[in-house]
Chain A
Amino acid sequence: MTESPPLVDMRGIHVEFPGVKALEDVDFRLFPGEVHALMGENGAGKSTLIKALTGVHPLEAGEIHLDGAPVSFPGPAQAQAAGISTVYQEVNLCTNLSVAENILLGREPRRFGVIDGRTMRARAATLLARMGLTIDPGSALGSHPIAVQQLVAIARAVAVDARVLILDEPTSSLDTDEVAELFRIIRVLRAEGVAVLFVTHFIEQVYEISDRVTVLRNGKLVGEYATSALSRIDLVSAMIGRELGVLEEVERRSERRSADPAPLLRAEGLGRAGAIAPFDLEIHAGEVVGLAGLLGSGRTELARLLFGADRADTGRVLMDGEPLRQRGGPRAALAKGIAFSSEDRKADGLVADLTVRDNMILAMQAARGWARQVPRRTADELVEKYLTELDIRPANPDAVVGTLSGGNQQKVLLARWLITRPRLLILDEPTRGIDVGAKAHIQKVVADLAADGMAVLFISAELEEVVRISDRIVVLRDRHKIAELSGSAAGVDEVMELIASGSTKVEALS
Chain B
Amino acid sequence: MTRTRLLWPALALVALLLLNLIVEPSFFELRLQDGHLFGSLVDILRNGAPTLLIALGMTLVIATRGIDLSVGAVAAIAGAVTCTYIASTGDALTAMALALGVCVVLGLWNGFLVAVLGIQPIIATLVLMTAGRGIAMLLTEGQIVTVDNPLFRQVGAGFLFLPIAILISLAALVAVALVTRRTALGMLIESVGVNPEASRLAGVRSRTIIWTVYVFAALCSGVAGLMISSNVSAADANSAGLWIEMDAILAVVIGGTLLTGGRYSLTGTLLGALTIQTLTTTVYTIGVPPEVTLVFKAGVVIIVCLLQAPRVAPALTRAPQPRQVEEAMAR
Contact = CB atoms under 8 A, between A and B. Distances in A.
Given A17-B324, A366-B188, A402-B329, A350 B195 contact: yes
Interface stretch (A51-59, A125-133, A154-162, A478-486): A51-59
A301 B72 CA distance: 45
Interface string B183-213: 1110110110011011111111100010000
A233 interface: no
A114 interface: no
A340 B203 CA distance: 10
Interface stretch (A190-198, A204-212, A352-360, A468-476): A352-360
A416 interface: yes
Interface residues of A, number: 42
A403 B331 contact: yes
Q: Tell me what chain B mostly uses at the interface: helix, strand, loop, or mixed.
A: helix
Nearest to A357: B187
A347 interface: yes
Contacts of A72: none
B150 to A, nearest CB: 39
B91 to A, nearest CB: 34
B122 to A, nearest CB: 18
Interface stretch (A215-223, A370-378, A458-466): A370-378
B195 A351 contact: yes
Nearest to B261: A353
B329 A352 contact: yes
Interface string A388-426: 000000000000101101100000000010000000000
A365 B189 CA distance: 12
Given A330-B203, A366-B203, A403 B198 contact: no
Contacts of A18: 320
A402 B185 contact: no
Contacts of B209: 370
A94 to B, nearest CB: 14
Nearest to A304: B201
Contacts of A351: 190-191, 194-195, 198-199
A309 B201 CA distance: 7
A363 B202 contact: yes
Interface string B309-331: 00000000000110011011111
B48 interface: no
A352 B203 contact: no
Nearest to B263: A353
B329 A358 contact: no
Given A348-B197, A350-B195, A402-B331, A366 B324 contact: no
A47 to B, nearest CB: 6
Contact of B331 (A340, A365, A405): A405
B184 A354 contact: no
Residue of A58, A349, A351, A402 contacting most chain B CB atoms (<10 Å):
A351
Contact of B327 (A56, A348, A362): A56
Contacts of B203: 330-331, 334, 363, 366-367
Contacts of A342: 198, 201
Contact of A47 (B183, B199, B320, B331): B331
Interface residues of B, number: 31
B328 A366 contact: no
B222 interface: no
B199 A362 contact: yes
Residue of B182, B185, B324 contacting most chain A CB atoms (<10 Å):
B324
B330 A402 contact: yes
Given A18-B320, A351-B194, A354-B190, A366 B202 contact: yes
A110 interface: no
Contacts of A340: 201
A300 to B, nearest CB: 12
B25 to A, nearest CB: 44
Contacts of A349: 198, 201
B262 interface: yes
Given A330-B203, A348-B198, A362-B202, A373 B182 contact: yes
A403 B328 contact: yes
Contacts of A366: 188, 199, 202-205
B329 A368 contact: no
A47 B203 CA distance: 32
Contacts of A367: 203
Given A351-B195, A403-B328, A405-B331, A373 B183 contact: yes
A374 B184 contact: yes
Contacts of B201: 307, 309, 330, 340, 342, 348-349
B202 A353 contact: no
Interface in B272-331: 320-321, 324-325, 327-331
Contacts of B183: 370-373
Contacts of B330: 92, 402
Contacts of A363: 202-203
A249 to B, nearest CB: 30
A362 B204 contact: yes
A353 B190 contact: yes
A371 B325 CA distance: 32
Nearest to B183: A373
B194 A353 contact: yes
A279 to B, nearest CB: 21
A350 B198 contact: yes
A371 B209 CA distance: 12
Interface of B: 182-185, 187-188, 190-191, 194-195, 197-205, 209, 262-263, 320-321, 324-325, 327-331
Closest 10 A/B residue pairs (Cβ): A402-B329, A366-B203, A370-B185, A348-B197, A366-B204, A403-B328, A373-B184, A334-B203, A363-B202, A18-B320
20 contacts: A17-B328, A57-B327, A307-B201, A330-B203, A331-B203, A334-B203, A342-B201, A347-B195, A350-B198, A352-B195, A353-B329, A362-B204, A370-B185, A371-B184, A372-B184, A400-B329, A402-B331, A403-B331, A405-B331, A406-B331
